[in-house]
Structure 1
């Protein structure tokens, strides 16, 4: 009996230790220390193959790292466990969701729900999490499942935490805030809930100081809670992009906080990739190149590393290496893993690789086919994610500066398709500007076939004028564009635009009139030529205005002599 008691006691102690280790694994997952979590869980499985939840937790870590095959292997092995095998059915359902098979996922989740006991809540939370974390999320189903969990246990902090995440995905920030507050009130040690409250504050964009304060309060509770440092880094990054005067200061802080976050992870490939993603945002491409090379030493076959090499090679001026790395990346990964930025960088590297200068210093394209493909790839970036057009302004202006007006107009035209583009005003102006100068560079025959493009320029300038009725250059170029269209309606629009240009300039006073003398002479002369056919008195008035600006203008003198009786 004494021996049996000792054995029983040892089993109890082992069971307690096993539970504690599982909780340690969960804490490591929450702290985004995935390698540490995997090490703990593999050890637990090796010591006790009958606990199905350990297989599930390990498979779930692999899903977080987008390693679906490894995740599926552990989920399937977990189905054979004596205890808690149903968690692995949830994991396999998560994979079904990722693969677009929602009906198969729903069937698996239902089979788990049907077998739940009255107090079983955790399984419902993980079903909700599957709907939230899937590549094909369904936030409303997640909300419904998590509310079932809360009906069973109204103080289940983890359920409220997951519910908050579901509401964030469903763009209901008020309910998300309420859910996170419930989570932290029922379990004050649940730092992730406090973190998410800070994230909501951070994403208001007007409350960066409050977000910083919220994350620092978390670190006051636990100075080693890595995700809080990551959120501080992202907060300062966003703040720097909003407060441009302090951009350098805040970006430096952001990078320092991210380095601190990295020291609190396990420097696994996954955490290094997170770091690389942030370096892309912060624009530290020297550090990105160094990080990418470290990742290659850890795992030389992971294709995602090629993405970082492509980005950093382009930014560091090695265009051929960038093209090679990106093409290799796209060939290796599932097409759904290719993002807009990948197409953009490929296009930019291709473009840069074939732009050169001739002996006279003029910009030339050395390979038109590669350049055309570059434009196609840049367009593909916008098709993949329209928000990336916020970055097109700098690309288009660079092309414009190189006097590549046609390609610049293509870039600006794509940019203007995004109604929420923060550069929309300037992109419309540069679209018109580029089309106009591209037109001037065309042959006389090609100009005759260019009315459609000129019409796009006219529409773009209308947008600029509507947004800024006193934008004098917009009126000037609208007049010039319509003069080149050469139709009766266009000539009338030309005269109207010149009139508005004259109004804006003269209202600014003598100094601006003197500054714009050449353009005013153009405006009075060209509008005068229109009025010479439609309104003789107006034409005479305008030619006299030309002579006030330049008494020696021969064209105005000749037209006045012709028009006066």
Structure 2
């Protein structure tokens, strides 16, 4: 009996130790220490292969890291063990959701719910999480499931936490706030709930100091909670892009906090990739190149490393290396994993490697096929993510500066399709600017086929004028564009645009008049020529203005002679 009691006590203690180890793994997962959590769970599976939840937790980490094949291995192993095997059906259902098979996922989730005991809640929480974090999420369904969880146990902080996440992703911010707050009140040690309350504050984009305080309060409670440092890094990144006067200061703080986050999680390949993603955001391409090369030393197979090598190589001026890395990356990665920025850098690298200089130092296209591919790649980037057009201004300006006006016009035209583009004013102006200079450099025959582009330029300048009614250069180029359209209506619009240009410049006073002398002579002369037919008095006035600026102007003298006959 003594031996049996001792054995029973040993088993009890082992069970307690095992549970504690599983909790340690769960805490490591929450702290985003994924490698530590994986090591713990693999050890638990080796020592207690009949506990199904450990297989599920391990597989779930691999899903988090987008390693679905590895996740499936552990879910399939765990679904046949003696205890808690049903969790692995949830994991397999999550994979079904990723693959777009919601019906198959529902069958598995329903089976889990049918076999749940009356007081079970965790299974519902994990089903809800599957709907939240799947590649094809269904936030409404997640909310429905997680509401069931809180109805069964209104003291489950974990259920409220995940309900808050579902609301947050479904853009129901008030409900998300209430759920996160309830989770934090139920369990003061549940730092993730407090973290998400800070995230809600951060994402208002107007309460950065309050968000910083929220994350620092978490650090005061647990200085080793890495995700709080990551959120501080992201807060300062957003703040830097809002308060541009302090951009360098805040970006430095962002990078420092991210380094702290890295030290508190791990320097595994996955952590380094998260770091690389942040370096892309903060445009620290020297550090990105170093990080990418360190990742290559760890894993020479993972194709995602090539993405970072391509980005950093381009930004650091190594264009051929960038193009090679991106082509290699795209040939190896699942096409579903390609993002808009991949196509953008592919296009940029092709542009850089297909444009050279002639003997006079003028830009020249050295490989038209590759150059045309580059423009198509840049278009593809915009099709995948319209927000990336915010970065097209610099691309278009570079092409414009190289006097590649036609391609520049294409880039600016794509950029203007985004009504929320922060460069919308300048992109519309440069679109018209590029179209105009491309047109005047055409052969007479090609000019006849360019009417639609000139009309597009006129429309773009109308947007500029609407956004800034006193943009004098917009009126100047609107006049020039319409002059080249050569229709009766276009000539009328030309004269009207010149009138506005003249008005704005003269209102600024003698200094601006002198500065714009050549353009004013153009405006008075061309508008005057139109008014010779429609308004002789105004024509006379305008040609006299030309002579005030240049008493020897032969054209103005000739026109006045004709008008005075």
Give TM class, smaller chain. over 0.9
Partner of 1:238: 238
Q: CA deviation at 1:175?
A: 1.0
Partner of 2:257: 257
Aligned length: 565
Q: CA deviation at 1:78?
A: 0.5
Which shows bigger deviation, 181-190 or 200-209?
200-209
Q: Does 1:368 align with 2:368?
A: yes
Partner of 1:410: 410
Query: Following the alignment from structure 1 to structure 2, what is the Cα–Cα distance between the partners of residues 398 and 242?
Result: 25
Which shows bigger deviation, 509-518 or 373-382?
509-518
The aligned runs of 1:332-347 (5 Å cut-off) are 332-347=332-347
The aligned runs of 1:418-497 (5 Å cut-off) are 418-497=418-497
Deviation per residue, 1:290-329 (Å, 9 max, x gap): 1111111111111111101111111111111111111111
Partner of 1:145: 145
Query: Following the alignment from structure 1 to structure 2, what is the Cα–Cα distance between the partners of residues 305 and 489?
Result: 57
Partner of 1:395: 395
Unaligned runs of 5+ in 1: none
Which shows bigger deviation, 291-300 or 9-18?
291-300
Query: Following the alignment from structure 1 to structure 2, what is the Cα–Cα distance between the partners of residues 372 and 245?
Result: 38
Partner of 2:351: 351
Deviation per residue, 1:428-454 (Å, 9 max, x gap): 011001111111111111111111101
Q: Does 1:16 align with 2:16?
A: yes
Q: CA deviation at 1:179?
A: 0.9
Q: Does 1:292 align with 2:292?
A: yes
The aligned runs of 1:212-231 (5 Å cut-off) are 212-231=212-231
Counterpart secondary structure, 1:154 = coil
Partner of 2:188: 188
Deviation per residue, 1:4-49 (Å, 9 max, x gap): 0000000000000000000000011011111100000001011111
Partner of 1:522: 522
Counterpart secondary structure, 1:348 = helix
Q: Does 1:69 align with 2:65?
A: no
Query: Following the alignment from structure 1 to structure 2, what is the Cα–Cα distance between the partners of residues 179 and 507?
Result: 59
Deviation per residue, 1:359-416 (Å, 9 max, x gap): 2111111111111100010000001111100111111111111111111111100000
Query: Following the alignment from structure 1 to structure 2, what is the Cα–Cα distance between the partners of residues 472 and 24?
Result: 66
Deviation per residue, 1:166-223 (Å, 9 max, x gap): 1111111111111110110000000011111111111111111111111111000011
Query: Following the alignment from structure 1 to structure 2, what is the Cα–Cα distance between the partners of residues 420 and 108?
Result: 42
Unaligned runs of 5+ in 2: none
Partner of 2:55: 55
Q: CA deviation at 1:522?
A: 0.8
Deviation per residue, 1:452-494 (Å, 9 max, x gap): 1011100000001011111111111000000011111111110
Q: Does 1:322 align with 2:318?
A: no
Query: Following the alignment from structure 1 to structure 2, what is the Cα–Cα distance between the partners of residues 96 and 251?
Result: 40
Structure 1: which 4+ aligned runs deviate by more than 3 Å? none
Partner of 2:84: 84
Deviation per residue, 1:87-114 (Å, 9 max, x gap): 0000000000001111111111111111
Query: Following the alignment from structure 2 to structure 1, what is the Cα–Cα distance between the partners of residues 118 and 385?
Result: 45
Q: Does 1:269 align with 2:269?
A: yes
Query: Following the alignment from structure 1 to structure 2, what is the Cα–Cα distance between the partners of residues 398 and 198?
Result: 40
Counterpart secondary structure, 1:356 = strand
Counterpart secondary structure, 1:288 = helix
Counterpart secondary structure, 2:364 = strand
Query: Following the alignment from structure 1 to structure 2, what is the Cα–Cα distance between the partners of residues 267 and 427?
Result: 42
Q: CA deviation at 1:518?
A: 1.3
Counterpart secondary structure, 1:389 = helix
Partner of 1:308: 308
Partner of 1:102: 102
Counterpart secondary structure, 2:205 = coil
Q: CA deviation at 1:510?
A: 2.2
Partner of 2:280: 280
Aligned-residue CA RMSD (Å): 0.9
Q: CA deviation at 1:549?
A: 1.7
Counterpart secondary structure, 2:356 = strand
Partner of 1:205: 205
Partner of 1:31: 31
Q: CA deviation at 1:509?
A: 2.1
Query: Following the alignment from structure 1 to structure 2, what is the Cα–Cα distance between the partners of residues 128 and 424?
Result: 41
Question: TM-score under structure 2 normalisation?
Answer: 0.99
Counterpart secondary structure, 1:313 = helix
